[in-house]
Each structure stands twice: as C-alpha cells, then as structure tokens.
Amino acid sequence: MTTELELDVRNPSGLHARPAALFVKAACGFASDIRVSNLTTGSREVPAKSIIGILGLGVEPGHRIRVRIEGVDEHRAAAALRDLVTSGLGEPPADEAERSTGEPAPATGGAAPSADGAAPAAGEA
C-alpha cells in the first residue's frame, strides 16, 4: 500500500537549508521509501532522504508538495512528516508570523532588526 500527502509549505524559508535538513532527518528515521515532488513547479519526484534532492526541488513558501510513502511504517512516517510541514519545519509558518506582528514575515537572508526594531543601516549587520 502507498500513502500520499499533499501539503502546503507555509514557513518563510520553504524547503531550504535548515528546514530541508529537518525534513530529511525526519524521513531518514523511517524504513519506508519516501519520495517528494513539488506540485507547484511540476518537478520530478526525489528521495526524501536526500538533502540534495530536496534542495533541488526549489520549494518556496506557498508551494504545494506531494509526499509519497511506501513501506512498513508508512502511516507513522506520513503523520510525522505532515506534522513537521504543517508546524512550519522549525520556523513559524509565514501567515502566523504575519499575524503576530501585523507585518509580512521577513525575507530570508536579510539582516535582523536592531533591539529597537529599526532595520540596520547600510553597512551594518
């Protein structure tokens, strides 16, 4: 039997860097064959236990992914991966971050604001 999930990626970083590593680490904890595709871009399916494969999907915030799981622990794997993605992959989901601050979630890679909330001046960071 095969279990398939379609999930919306809502965290600010998508499946890049740390969130991708968390996803792969979780997938590696199961014996089942787990594969992922980016439905938004129409990507090919890649092994969920491969960081290079996951990063290559180019999953951005708001993209929809399909997770296909087949094996002895597929139901536990499906529940764990669903919970991980819906909880924001270790980051607050983008819409949650926006609700709590009233502002859009910050883009990744930018400098953090100072303690008083002001953005750093050019050359600072």
- What residues pair up with 5 in beta bridges, in sequence order? 67
CA 27, 20, 39: angle at the middle one, nearest 5? 85
Checking if the pLDDT of 27 tops 70, the result is yes
Catalytic residue from among 16, 49, 63, 68: 16
Other CB atoms within 10 A of residue 101 CB:
11
CA–centroid distance for 122 within its chain: 30
Read off the pLDDT band of 9 (50, 70, 90): very high
**Each residue's pLDDT tens digit, 73-124:** 999 999 999 999 999 999 987 665 555 555 554 444 434 444 444 444 444 4
What's the mean pLDDT when you consider all of the chain? 84
pTM over 0.85: no
Looking at per-residue pLDDT, the higher value among 123 and 30 belongs to 30
Residue 99 Cα distances to 92, 93, 95, 113, angstroms: 11, 10, 6, 18
- Residue 125 has a pLDDT of 45
Q: Where are the alpha helices (DSSP H) in the chain?
A: 17-28, 51-56, 74-86, 94-101
75 is catalytic: no
